[in-house]
Amino acid sequence: MTIQQVLLLLLLWMWLPHPCHTEMLFRRTPDLRPKSFGGRASGNDGKAIHRQKRGWMWNQFFLLEEYTGSDYQYVGKLHSDQDKGDGSLKYILSGDGAGTLFIIDEKTGDIHATRRIDREEKAFYTLRAQAINRRTLRPVEPESEFVIKIHDINDNEPTFPEEIYTASVPEMSVVGTSVVQVTATDADDPSYGNSARVIYSILQGQPYFSVEPETGIIRTALPNMNRENREQYQVVIQAKDMGGQMGGLSGTTTVNITLTDVNDNPPRFPQSTIHLRIPESSPVGTAIGSVKATDADTGKNAEVEYRIIDGDGTDMFDIVTQKDTQEGIITVRKPLDYETRRLYTLKVEAENTHVDPRFYYLGPFKDTTIVKISVEDVDEPPIFSRSSYLFEVHEDIELGTIIGTVMARDPDSASSPIRFSLDRHTDLDRIFNIHSGNGSIYTSKPLDREISQWHNLSVIAAEINNPKDTTRVPVYVRILDVNDNAPQFAVFYDTFVCENARAGQLIQTISAVDKDDPLGGQKFFFSLAAVNPNFTVQDNEDNTARILTRRNGFSRHEISTYLLPVVISDNDYPIQSSTGTLTIRVCACDSRGNMQSCNAEALLLPAGLSTGALVAILLCIIILLVIVVLFAALKRQRKKEPLILSKEDIRDNIVSYNDEGGGEEDTQAFDIGTLRNPAAIEDKKLRRDIIPETLFVPRRTPSAPDNTDVRDFINQRLKEHDTDPSAPPYDSLATYAYEGNDSIAESLSSLESGTTEGDQNYDYLREWGPRFNKLAEMYGGGESDKDTS
């Protein structure tokens, strides 16, 4: 019989009711009076003392979890010694799950569980029991507390916190290298049996990995596992409870293990010899090609450094390691020449930069290859004998003199003839020229160092057979100085002498400048062109000289200005000299020698007005002129007013010109044909009865058709005037040749009244409003005049 079977029988035996265990008697509480039961003792007072008999004896209840029966699960029985079996007592249960999870038969005291209980949810329940008299509801036994403890069964399998684990281990690790630890948990009671004792085993991943049964640590099981052969492994680990015995529950997890790289592979060139080609015209720094050594490792373990270790072109070529592609780029270090050498051989080495000492035994972590570079011939441009030329020439050479010669050759085997020319952008003044056949540079214009000391030319050489291939070389021409300029005064001197000057008095210090630049520096000599009785020159021997007076007293009345010729010469060869003339004015000075006046006419001016008074008078005249100008401007900007102002209403604007027209014979005043010929409409004219304030652009209206009636034309013009926003807001009197049919006021013309002998009454004009008051006064006044006459 196995241990599991023994435990199962023991549990079943505990489920069965046993009177000695299930009839539990409660303990009495200290505050209740004891009940007597067998046994006596004598007290101090001599009376017999009866010992209380315990009515309840109490133990824990045990209940197995996960009950699968159809009936309620029996827990135990409560019984009081006060229970006579007549039903007078009532058992009451309270506490955790009382009435729901646990129920009690109030007559018999039997306790049952109403549903399955999971120990993992709750391991024990605390309840209280009491027996009361059914009729009086008074407790016959004190309330007592008891515990129902849930016995565990193996109903939970071990679980891992992660379904999939990810781990890594370096390749080539020794056997037993720890990879990762996995841990499973079991919800069963670890203190009861082996339900929570977990044992680990490997289901998948052998023979590469193993797992420790007790700890769950995964270790390598094979030596020298190579990442280059296999990188990924999947291991399935099982965790089983009951100590791994049969019948235990189990759970699994997956561990993905990656072999990380170590530098266990040296770089290898795929070819022992590599051939490259490059044109001889390739400039320095041109990439010829690349070499690459393969390395089975990855990351920094595959990093390679390239170098040229041997060969006949070590000084002609370089190799640079390209980090991102791990290639060696071969570049040109010096200019190539097909005619000099056509083939170069290099020995290139590739070596790992990060070498693991543990794997030195696998061999040297480097490799070599041979690189052969062939130089290809191209039609090269001419080559000058120098990279630049410097010619020095004196500025006084004659035209056509050769200042130097440049030389160039064709590097190709054909050796084509060369043609030379000057880049005129570097010689805009065309001072120089070059012989196209031999490269001799000569002058075509005079040179002047004082204008330009350096000339930077660019000479172009081209093959006659292939003029497109050209080469340039800089030519620097330095113009050497020749003493061809005479010294002159450094500045213009404004010299004066005081009338009260004494003999030997210094009146001016002069200096000179020279455009030439002699090697020994400038040296000037000063002297007078002729003996002067009034002034003399004293050379200071430092390229300056002093002008001194030779006599006392000078008068502006006699001579106001003196001219003093001074000869300035240099000491270079040939000697150059010039004569500069100083203008010396005679001035009135104060006692300290400060000049006051140098004008001779100033002595004749009256002394009545001072300079300040003259300035004040001038300022007054300017102010008066400004006031006159402002007044004229204000007058011009005054607001313009209408020519005619009405006495009563500014808009009742009847204009009287006091000019009798010439009648129908007068054709100059108004062109009446305009009204009768609508096609001859002119632009609107400005009103002449007021001064126009703003000039509005007249609006040209379309001309009426030839067959339009004059009446429609006049109505159209009236409508346009009424709606025209630029028309002035005045009621003006317009004259038309056509009056219309009639009006309410009838005709106002005096033409008809002149034909009748009777006088007309115009009093009704006063009833038409203020606009007709002026007419009423004019015509009404005529009647009164007649009466008085």
| Confidence at residue 626, expressed as pLDDT on a 0 to 100 scale | 92
| Confidence at residue 769, expressed as pLDDT on a 0 to 100 scale | 77
Q: Does residue 732 surpass a pLDDT of 80? A: no
Q: Which has more confidence, 658 or 401?
A: 401
- Could you tell me if residue 66 is left (phi over 0), alpha (psi between -120 and 50 degrees) or otherwise beta? left
Q: Which two tokens stand for residue 698?
A: 């007249």
User: Domains in the chain, please, with CATH?
Assistant: 58-149 (2.60.40.60), 162-258 (2.60.40.60), 271-371 (2.60.40.60), 381-478 (2.60.40.60), 486-595 (2.60.40.60)
Strand partners, 149: 62, 124
Return d(Cα 346, Cα 466) in angstroms, integer.
Answer: 35
> Got the DSSP string for 627-686?
HHHHHHHHHHTSPP--S---SS-TTB----------GGG--SS--THHHH-GGGPPPPPP
Among 8-12, 248-252, 279-283, 653-657, the least confident range: 8-12
> Which three-class secondary structure string do you get for 353-375?
CCCCHHHHHHCCCEEEEEEEEEE
The percent of residues in the chain predicted with pLDDT above 70, rounded, is 76
Residue that has been written with the tokens 């009690």 in this structure: 104
Q: Which two tokens stand for residue 96?
A: 């955790």
The alpha carbon of 540 is separated from its chain's Cα centroid by a whole number of angstroms, namely 68
| Residue 610, CA distances (Å) to 529, 600, 614, 616 in order | 44, 18, 7, 10
Asked if residue 358 lies in contact with residue 344, where contact means CB atoms within 8 angstroms, the answer is no
Return d(Cα 464, Cα 502) in angstroms, integer.
Answer: 82
Most confident of 66-80, 270-284, 608-622: 270-284
733-737 contacts at long range (C-beta below 8 A, 24 or more positions apart): 733/653, 733/654, 733/655, 735/670, 736/675, 737/672, 737/675, 737/676
In degrees, rounded to 5, the angle at the alpha carbon of residue 614 between the alpha carbons of residues 609 and 616 is: 125
Q: Which two tokens stand for residue 149?
A: 């403890």
Contacts of 541 (CB under 8 A, 6+ apart): none
Q: Which two tokens stand for residue 416?
A: 């084509």
- Burial of 724 by CB count in 10 Å (0-12 exposed, 13-18 middle, 19+ buried)? middle
For 593, phi then psi, to 5°, come to 90, 10
Return d(Cα 633, Cα 706) in angstroms, integer.
Answer: 52
Q: Is 718 helix (H, G, I), strand (E, B) or coil?
A: helix
Return d(Cα 375, Cα 518) in angstroms, integer.
Answer: 55
Asked if residue 177 lies in contact with residue 210, where contact means CB atoms within 8 angstroms, the answer is no
pLDDT digit string (tens) for 135-181? 888 888 888 888 888 877 777 889 999 999 999 999 999 999 999 99
C-alpha torsion sign, points 385, 387, 392, 397: positive
Dihedral in degrees, nearest 10, Cα atoms 83, 84, 87, 90: -10
Q: Work out the average pLDDT over 58-73.
A: 73
- Name the nearest CA neighbour of 575 among 524, 531, 534: 524
For 242, phi then psi, to 5°, come to 60, 30
| Confidence at residue 245, expressed as pLDDT on a 0 to 100 scale | 84
| Confidence at residue 672, expressed as pLDDT on a 0 to 100 scale | 52
Among 73-87, 287-301, 406-420, the least confident range: 73-87
How many CB atoms lie under 10 A from the CB of residue 307? Answer: 14
pLDDT digit string (tens) for 328-360? 999 999 999 888 899 999 999 999 998 888 888
The percent of residues in the chain predicted with pLDDT above 90, rounded, is 39
Q: Is 112 helix (H, G, I), strand (E, B) or coil?
A: strand
Q: Does residue 634 surpass a pLDDT of 90? A: no
Dihedral in degrees, nearest 10, Cα atoms 420, 424, 428, 430: 30
Q: How confident is the model at residue 719 (pLDDT cuts 50, 70, 90)?
A: confident
- Name the nearest CA neighbour of 488 among 566, 597, 546, 541: 566
